Structure 1
Amino acid sequence: MTLLADKIKNQALNFGYEKCGIIKISDIDGYKEKLDERIEHIPEAKGFYQSQYRFTNLQDAYPWAKSIVICVREYGKYYIPEHLKGMIAKYYLVDGRKDENSKDFQDSLKFEKYMQDLGFRAETERGFGLVPLRFAAMKAGLGIVRKNNFFYTESGSSVYLEAWLIDKELESIEIPNVRPCSDKCNLCMKACPSASLSKPYTMNPIACVSCVTTFMGRDMANEKYREQIGNWVYGCDVCQDVCPMNKNSWKATEEFPNLQELSEYISLEKILKMDYSFLEEVMQPKFWYIDKSSVWKWKVNAINVMVNNYKEQYREHILYACNDSNSKVREMAEWAIKKLNLQ
């Protein structure tokens, strides 16, 4: 079985993954305890974390599964258009998990087929995954989670994780060669705009700018952390950008498919004038943390940024949004006019 595990790991590396490990499905058993601890520390986020309990009964949900193949892929190799930095989080711009045009996605399909050709049943979910990804990756010894709650390898935190359930009991565990956070370092917590990182290794998703600007934040005008969102329209990079363990980790040596072309359609002003077919058919598949029925959030978030960092050039665009076809956008625009005293 060791030989078979080595074959899978080597093939993952051949398909562009930085690391690959294999753990027994029973190694996830301790995840429930971690979830319970998180909710105890942040009780107001119980509703958010409740959905994560689906990962605590994997053997009941997938009785055929014996092991988890967990892989790390680096994304800090891609060029990011300058005008989108600080507005859309970098990872979402180069997310290859569902982008069929990306080599990362194609390599993932090839790796999955390789395991199936070996005779395995291998299943995944190319989004949020079928297993607790960071927990599984730590169990496989592929890296560590730092104080900002992101998973790190030697490449820093500009990596994402993919995992497959397989029906063979295999194991391949590494010893991570990553220096832990200094006890004295609190840069990520100090920099967090909304104090979501109130303690090391603890994150309040209710306050997290990335969460509020994507799948949360349904009432932005009354959002508690509206001002702390600053210039972010989708996601947030602050705690990763200030981390000394990420210094010089972003290489920007490759172009992500179609990103440069898409970036030319994106600015605060252009978002407010996007028609909903473009938002649903182009933006949503790319930035899928906002579902198709909620693409109005792009415009609401853009108005919020305009209010947070108002310039006179925004006036006409906010007034224009008062006639938007979506009531949420109209309400946000009207709120902004009163807030900024534009009448």
Structure 2
Amino acid sequence: MNTLALQIKNAALELGYEKCGIIKMSDIYGYKEKLEERIERTPEAKGFFQSQYRFVNAQETFPWAKSIVICIRRYGKYDIPEHLKGVIAKYYLVDSRTDENSKDFQDSLKFEKYMRELGIRAETERKFGLTALRWAAMKAGLGMVRRNNFFYTENGSWLYLEAWLIDEELELIETPNLRPCSDKCNLCIKACPSASLSQPYTMSPIACVSCITTFTGRDMPNEKYREEVGDWVYGCDVCQDVCPMNIKRWSETEEFPNLAELSQKISLEKIIKMDYDFLENVMQPKFWYIPKQDVWKWKVNTINAMVNNYKEQYKESIYEACKDSHEKVREMAEWAISKLNI
């Protein structure tokens, strides 16, 4: 085993990563075939998937890169506020990618600094990455992609994946020892609220509740899957929650910085009352899949959740939203009043 590769791995483990592997840049090329296969299966999502080709051609953008260091950190250890379960997906509640208060974020910086102190050029992009993270982790033998499309280790799928492009030609491959999904198991497919997960390893982001509540869904009254979104306001956990391989994989033994305090300011009724300064300067930096100019979407998503599981207590909030400063929120509230006949 290459001494430098082993040094990198040991440093990652000391900093709290569960696993670390290294693959050659050429190992990413096979991702193109999988990407084209996904587009063939879900042609309606071709536009969405085309953006992923940047990962296939990463070496053209970074000609100096020779290898990819891929690391895995477990986040299925944090306390999740009970009242936000089924409303905001757990990953986003404890997302450390840009949270400077998080130990996970600080450890990521320390790991990157360590590699650079070894004389290695190491580059990453902490939001969406510079490579296909799940593919790289699979090629490094750190685990496997299961039928719901999520990457798993022995600790289930509640994982952060991080990768760095480096200018050293190294390789560090493990042999995964995981029991594969049963061919007879289709729990994730059956549970998917919008049938976005239509068959094993096949997901259409156009129908995905997580995508609708974040990246898309800008015309919610006319959204095809509006009812299927259910109670979700940001993200979705359903296909991971029902997976047998995730049973007892979440321990809730640690507090994520500032989450308990922030959670007290979040409920369906409180989101409707949020002023736009709070949405832009507190909510958006934490939940950054919705850009600043679209933070009105929090209120629209919330009204949709109120309609999908209506309670009399929501009536006042919906009427209050009719006076909101943003046209999209007023439009959604008026639609809800008509829909509910209240």
TM interval, shorter chain, is over 0.9
1:256 positional shift: 0.1
Is 1:63 the counterpart of 2:63 in the alignment? yes
Corresponding letter in the other structure for 1:197: L
SS in 1 for 2:202: coil
- Give 1:223's aligned residue: 223
* CA distance in structure 1 between the aligned counterparts of 2:148 and 2:294, rounded to whole angstroms: 28
* CA distance in structure 1 between the aligned counterparts of 2:171 and 2:28, rounded to whole angstroms: 13
Is 1:201 the counterpart of 2:207 in the alignment? no
SS in 2 for 1:198: strand
1:220 positional shift: 0.6
1:167 positional shift: 0.3
SS in 1 for 2:73: strand
1:284-303 to structure 2, matched below 5 A, reads 284-303=284-303
Is 1:239 the counterpart of 2:252 in the alignment? no
- Give 1:154's aligned residue: 154
- Give 1:2's aligned residue: 2
1:177 positional shift: 1.4
1:175 positional shift: 0.5
Corresponding letter in the other structure for 2:37: E
- Structure 1 unaligned regions, length at least 5: none
Is 1:176 the counterpart of 2:185 in the alignment? no
- Give 1:124's aligned residue: 124
* CA distance in structure 2 between the aligned counterparts of 1:177 and 1:73, rounded to whole angstroms: 18
* CA distance in structure 1 between the aligned counterparts of 2:231 and 2:310, rounded to whole angstroms: 10
1:11 positional shift: 0.4
TM-score between both structures, scaled by the size of structure 1: 0.99
SS in 1 for 2:51: helix
Corresponding letter in the other structure for 2:4: L
- Structure 2 unaligned regions, length at least 5: none
- Give 1:267's aligned residue: 267
- Give 1:80's aligned residue: 80
Runs of 4 or more, structure 1, over 4 Å off, are none
* CA distance in structure 2 between the aligned counterparts of 1:7 and 1:18, rounded to whole angstroms: 15
SS in 2 for 1:108: helix
1:35 positional shift: 0.8
RMSD over aligned CA atoms reads 0.6
* CA distance in structure 2 between the aligned counterparts of 1:306 and 1:57, rounded to whole angstroms: 43
- Give 1:96's aligned residue: 96
- Give 1:314's aligned residue: 314
The C-alpha deviation readout for 1:90-131, integer Å capped at 9, x for no partner, is: 010001111000000000000000000000110000011000
1:327 positional shift: 0.5
1:333 positional shift: 0.4
1:205 positional shift: 0.4
The C-alpha deviation readout for 1:175-207, integer Å capped at 9, x for no partner, is: 011111001000000000000111001101000
1:328-343 to structure 2, matched below 5 A, reads 328-342=328-342
1:59 positional shift: 1.2
Identical positions, percent: 78
Corresponding letter in the other structure for 1:290: I
* CA distance in structure 1 between the aligned counterparts of 2:322 and 2:254, rounded to whole angstroms: 40
- Give 1:187's aligned residue: 187
* CA distance in structure 1 between the aligned counterparts of 2:59 and 2:90, rounded to whole angstroms: 35
